[in-house]
Amino acid sequence: MPSSAAIKKNLVLFLLAKVVIVFGSSIYSFAIGLYVLAVTGSAVNFSITLLLTILPRIILAPLAGTLSDRWNRKRIIITTNFACALWIAVICGLFIFVTQDIWLLYLATCVLSIINTFYSSAVMSSIYNMVGPDFLQKAMSLNQAVASFSVILGPILGGILFGLLPLSSFMLINICGFFLSGIASLFINYYLFVEKTEKQQAGTIQTELRAGLSYVKKQTLLRQLIFMSVWVNFWFAVFPVALPYLVLTIRQMPTYQFGLIEGSFAVGMLVMSTILSLKAEMKNKSFSIGIGMVCLGILLMLIGMPQLIEISNQVVFVYLIGIVLLLAAAIMIINIPVMVLIQKSTKDEYRGRVMAILETGASAATPLGYILFGLFLEWWPIWVIMLVSGGSIICMILYHTRNKQFFNLLKQTDQTKVVSTEA
């Protein structure tokens, strides 16, 4: 059994790598968005940068997950970190000395997203092996806390520095982030909880990808968790579409109030993930997931209420901040136990592919939701759409509560250890 000191060393280095890479990327991405809007004045051009960030993850996640199961994950993580640093350095040089056309930033965003897809897959499939079952909830919670903190602080610093520094400076910040993350990753033992044996891969990538899909089909709990994640991500896609429509168009509130309301989402995630990182692992994950889902559905419904009630915008502002904070907390109460269960119930040799299938399904459901809910908001009142969206999530939980199979499987899995090659 690995020592507690070795686990904590891994955890500290992992969080250090995560902080610098996410924080640097957050500042960089925010600055790129502002630059594109400032130069083109077009929301379409800005949306293209978002699309170029999302599409590679949807398309390449299955391949990235398969490769993370075939290859040495530590090498993938280190290589992709330094590859990102090198790529941004090349783009920075071209931006300074050759051209500042927007297409260069589009190219930078697309390639960076491709490399990050392989990095993320290797990292997510390595967390269990880095910290083991006892520290898994802490690691997943702190991982989310770091991301939430960066989401809050990154745009603030990005907005302050954007008027003071050239875009190339933000590229240099991101280069440093990837480089430091790569250095920290060199000292992490990514195989602390598995035997350090060389895997012999006989099949092709296509064969192993099909094997991963077959594995998920045979694992009833994994299959249902993935379906649940896709379902929830689709209906939750109404939130980022409906919230600005409600605040800015229907209520005609000032943009700074919308920014504070939206920022409270990251605050809620940060607070709840920090709380979960300090607590012992949840003993009744099925209860947490069920309650979290019900709360998520109810809170989505409540977002539409300001359209029905005649109250001042000051009251609506406070009301929505409270709702959004609780909404973010509910998501953490769902996500952390789900991710812990998936990590624990998946064999190490399939973990990359399982996580990739989950990400592909959830990621694909979100853009589809954006498009459909954007159209629905043109046709129906926002409170109706929020009622249907929240109700759909609650109905899924009520179905599983009545069926009992899903929650019984959750309880059984929670009481058993992952099938793995522990050292």
For residue 102, is pLDDT > 80?
yes
For residue 232, is pLDDT > 50?
yes
Considering the domain architecture, whether residues 227 and 346 belong to the same structural domain is answered as: yes
State the total domains in the chain: 2
Considering the domain architecture, whether residues 232 and 347 belong to the same structural domain is answered as: yes
The answer to whether the beta carbons of residues 342 and 358 sit under 8 Å apart is yes
- The answer to whether position 203 is within a domain reads no
Label residue 175 by pLDDT band (50, 70, 90): very high
- The answer to whether position 193 is within a domain reads no
pLDDT tens digits, one per residue of 251-262 = 888 867 877 887
- The answer to whether position 328 is within a domain reads yes
pLDDT at 225: 80
Considering the domain architecture, whether residues 159 and 225 belong to the same structural domain is answered as: no
pLDDT at 78: 93
- Percentage of the chain lying above the pLDDT 70 cut: 92
Label residue 25 by pLDDT band (50, 70, 90): confident
Considering the domain architecture, whether residues 107 and 216 belong to the same structural domain is answered as: no
Considering the domain architecture, whether residues 223 and 83 belong to the same structural domain is answered as: no
- The answer to whether position 164 is within a domain reads yes
Most confident of 76-80, 251-255, 274-278, 375-379: 76-80
Residue with tokens 């590679």, as numbered in its chain: 56
* Least confident residue range of 69-78, 164-173, 185-194, 400-409: 400-409
* Least confident residue range of 111-115, 166-170, 177-181, 193-197: 193-197
- The answer to whether position 194 is within a domain reads no
- The answer to whether position 422 is within a domain reads no
Residue with tokens 């993350």, as numbered in its chain: 181
Which of the listed residues 153, 188, 223 is the one where a domain comes to its end? Answer: 188
Considering the domain architecture, whether residues 257 and 374 belong to the same structural domain is answered as: yes
Q: Cβ neighbours of residue 223 under 8 Å, at least 6 residues apart?
A: 216, 217
Top-confidence residue, 142 or 307 = 142
Considering the domain architecture, whether residues 226 and 328 belong to the same structural domain is answered as: yes
Which of the listed residues 173, 188, 203 is the one where a domain comes to its end? Answer: 188
Q: Choose among 14, 49, 326, 31: nearest CA to 147.
A: 14
User: How far apart are the C-alpha atoms of 48 and 113, rounded to whole Å?
Assistant: 13
- Percentage of the chain lying above the pLDDT 90 cut: 19
Considering the domain architecture, whether residues 27 and 174 belong to the same structural domain is answered as: yes
Considering the domain architecture, whether residues 161 and 218 belong to the same structural domain is answered as: no
The answer to whether the beta carbons of residues 385 and 373 sit under 8 Å apart is yes
Average pLDDT over residues 283-297: 86
pLDDT at 326: 94
- The answer to whether position 366 is within a domain reads yes
Average pLDDT over residues 275-293: 83
Average pLDDT over residues 213-238: 83
pLDDT tens digits, one per residue of 197-222 = 455 555 677 788 888 888 888 888 77
- Give the C-alpha distances (Å, rounded to integers) separating 139 from 120, 122, 127, 294: 15, 15, 7, 26
User: How far apart are the C-alpha atoms of 265 and 234, rounded to whole Å?
Assistant: 18
For residue 42, is pLDDT > 70?
no
For residue 422, is pLDDT > 80?
no
Top-confidence residue, 258 or 332 = 332
pLDDT at 84: 93
User: How far apart are the C-alpha atoms of 75 and 198, rounded to whole Å?
Assistant: 13
Instruction: Quote the domain boundaries for residue 85.
Output: 1-188
**What is the DSSP code (8-state) at residue 42?**
-
pLDDT at 420: 41
Which CATH number goes with the domain that contains 178? 1.20.1250.20
Label residue 390 by pLDDT band (50, 70, 90): very high
Considering the domain architecture, whether residues 44 and 143 belong to the same structural domain is answered as: yes
Q: How many CA atoms lie within 13 A of 278 on its CB side?
A: 7
The type of residue at 272 is: M
Considering the domain architecture, whether residues 221 and 302 belong to the same structural domain is answered as: yes
Considering the domain architecture, whether residues 217 and 178 belong to the same structural domain is answered as: no
Average pLDDT over residues 58-74: 86
Which of the listed residues 188, 219, 244 is the one where a domain comes to its end? Answer: 188
- The answer to whether position 137 is within a domain reads yes
pLDDT at 419: 43
